[in-house]
Amino acid sequence: MLPLVLITFTEYLNNSSYKNLFFTIIALTLLGFSLHLLFASSILILLLILFKYADTKNLTVIKKGIIPLLLCIPLNTYWLGPVLFYDKTSLSTISHLNIIFFAPLTDIASVLYSTASMHGFWRGGIIYAKDIVPFTQYFFIVIFIFAVHGFLTYYKDPGIGYIVKALGVTAIIALLLGTGICGPASSVFEWMFQNVPLFNGMRDSQKFIALLVLAYAYLGCLGVQEFREDLKSVNVRRKYFATAVVVLVLISPLIYTFPMFTGFAGQVKSTDYPQEWYEVNAFLEENAGDSQLLFLPWHQYMEFSWVPNIDKKIANPASVFFTNSVIRGDNVEIGSIYSQSDKPVSKYLEYILGPGLNSNTNTNTDTKENVTNLGELLVPLNVKYVLLTKEVDWENYDELLHDQEDLELVLENDCFKVYENQYRVSHSYSVDKVVYVSGMEEFLKRSKLEDISRSVYVIDEQMAGKVLEFSDGERGLLKTRKVHSAKYCVEGTKKNLTVFTQKQDTSYPYWTMDGKEPEYQMLGFIPVFESVSGDSEADLKYKRFYKLYLPAYIVSLVSFVVLVVIFIRRHEDSFDL
């Protein structure tokens, strides 16, 4: 998308027609699907405006440059609104340890050269062309020389000179920022990481190299263009030399990246899920109802034996494969960082599963052998089935699940063990008892002495030990009908409190029942409401959808329609400032 943004934005600066304005806005909006590239491209856009102004000495250029950026705001409200008005995003969990772990490697000569030549990816293990055929890394010098030649030849050009200068400066900035904390601009990178909004989203500093590659492509083509006339020369020697140069330039990118034509030397291959996965999904579609699934082992990234790549580690695919809602590991596990998840459901399970299974989680003083009531502990999450795939460290989890008194093995094949929770679960259930506890440790201890599915547990150190009991009896499973992802209808009950179980997200503070806020937050993240009478039905609504997301979607849609109408009516017209 970066080349498209470059083309549309420069054409718009050169010719301010409604048509060019429309395509510029659309290109920037499409780039917004990758927020990293959108953030990085702001450097290029700013420099294009500044160098165009420097060439023309006309303030109108700055005004023209700002217009598409301003008009992009309403069109992108659908994601800008939630980002700007959300009190906590995943970026807030990124720490200084991240930029250390994601720092580029010195793969060739120095980190500066490695980064400039598009090597030194932080993860390592990448098979480059140089790893197969020695010396191919030096074809980068050909690419670099022609990019420099293109810059020196055209930076004074009256037509495209400002583009050439903007790309040249962008390339230098991208290279310096791309080296992160390992390069000559490390102090600048760290300062920006700590002080510039959204910059910590660029923890993998090599994302900036996309701008550098764009500069190579554009400037390198200009460098080759100088030999175009020589190809038609009557001087045979000159013609052959030009032909040799052009051929060298054309084959250099192919030689430099030839593993791409072989699936990156076997690093990337397509495949399908094993038949055993489909077997388990069919079983769950028939038996799981609207309950959630817990997928183990608990890893965000893990190796799967059926993946045909050389490196078999991929992002956990459970949530995109199974029909039911899946709770799976979202713990990043990089270096000394075990998890940066901001999702309460994840933290709850990491507390329970961590002991003995993951050495980095040590907040729970119990050991895994002490947890024998996992099924009961999963009731507040509406988990009916636990899926254990036989990959990586699954034996550790197999031992844990085997010891559970309230889980029963109901299906096993070559890829999975499927356990069924012996406790009945529901998206919503009703209770008549509130128990105050000092924290998760006390809650876990109580779970071994009493049936936690019959009470609401509220974490409050000052009120710990206090019990509010409205009546005694079993909990009631309530019929819960999903209207859409932001609205549910739940039946009434004679019991005082209705518990609304949560998915693996951060939506818990924003649910209401018939417009009323929760009376309690069980364990700090499960909303508990005052029940409605047994002969009526209550509406559970995610208020942020109605107050923020839906209005933002409408603004974006209306903005797009207005832009299309203007384009249809005036696409041939230009506008003056």
Domain hosting 5: range is: 1-87
Please report which confidence band the pLDDT of residue 405 belongs to, taking 50, 70 and 90 as the band edges.
very high
- Same domain? For 469 and 334 the reply is no
Cα–Cα dist 1/38, whole Å: 10
Tell me phi and psi for residue 383, to 5 degrees: -100, 115
Query: Which tens digit of pLDDT belongs to each residue from 174-199?
Result: 999 888 877 788 888 788 888 887 77
- Cα separations in angstroms, 273 against 279, 305, 415: 11, 11, 11
Tell me phi and psi for residue 392, to 5 degrees: 40, -120
- Same domain? For 284 and 320 the reply is yes
* Domain assignment present for 223: yes
- Same domain? For 285 and 196 the reply is no
pLDDT, average across residues 489-518: 92
- The neighbouring-strand residues paired with 418 are 387, 411
- Same domain? For 373 and 434 the reply is no
- Same domain? For 123 and 151 the reply is yes
* Domain assignment present for 566: no
Query: What tokens appear for 446 in the block?
Result: 């109580």
Please name which of 18, 51, 242 lies closest in space to residue 154, comparing C-alpha atoms. Answer: 51
Helices and strands: H and E segment counts in the chain: 22, 19
459: CB partners within 8 A, 6+ apart: 436, 437, 438, 439, 440, 443, 523, 524
Is the per-residue pLDDT at 91 higher than 60? no
Residue with tokens 């020389």: 145
* Domain assignment present for 559: no
Residue 3: what residue type? P
Is the per-residue pLDDT at 312 higher than 80? yes
Residue 307, CA atoms < 13 Å, CB-side half-sphere: 18
pLDDT for the residue 472: 63
* Domain assignment present for 486: yes
Please name which of 87, 40, 94 lies closest in space to residue 332, comparing C-alpha atoms. Answer: 94
Query: Which tens digit of pLDDT belongs to each residue from 406-439?
Result: 999 999 999 999 999 999 999 999 999 999 999 9
Query: Which tens digit of pLDDT belongs to each residue from 185-240?
Result: 888 878 888 888 777 777 777 788 889 999 999 998 898 887 777 777 777 788 88
- Same domain? For 187 and 134 the reply is yes
pLDDT, average across residues 484-496: 91
* Domain assignment present for 577: no
pLDDT for the residue 249: 83
Sheet containing strand 537-542, edge to edge, reads: 480-484, 487-491, 537-542, 511-513
- Same domain? For 253 and 142 the reply is yes
Q: What is the pTM of this model?
A: 0.83
- Same domain? For 240 and 284 the reply is no
* Domain assignment present for 554: no
Looking at the 3D structure of the chain, how many domains does it have? 4
pLDDT for the residue 576: 63
Among 421, 444, 462, residue at a domain's last position: 421
Among 52, 87, 122, residue at a domain's last position: 87
* Domain assignment present for 453: yes
Confirm if 283 and 413 have CB atoms less than 8 A apart. Answer: no
- Same domain? For 30 and 156 the reply is no
The top-scoring range by mean pLDDT among 67-71, 81-85, 119-123, 278-282 is: 278-282
- Same domain? For 150 and 251 the reply is yes
Among 237, 268, 299, residue at a domain's last position: 268
- Same domain? For 339 and 433 the reply is no
- Same domain? For 478 and 457 the reply is yes
* Domain assignment present for 312: yes
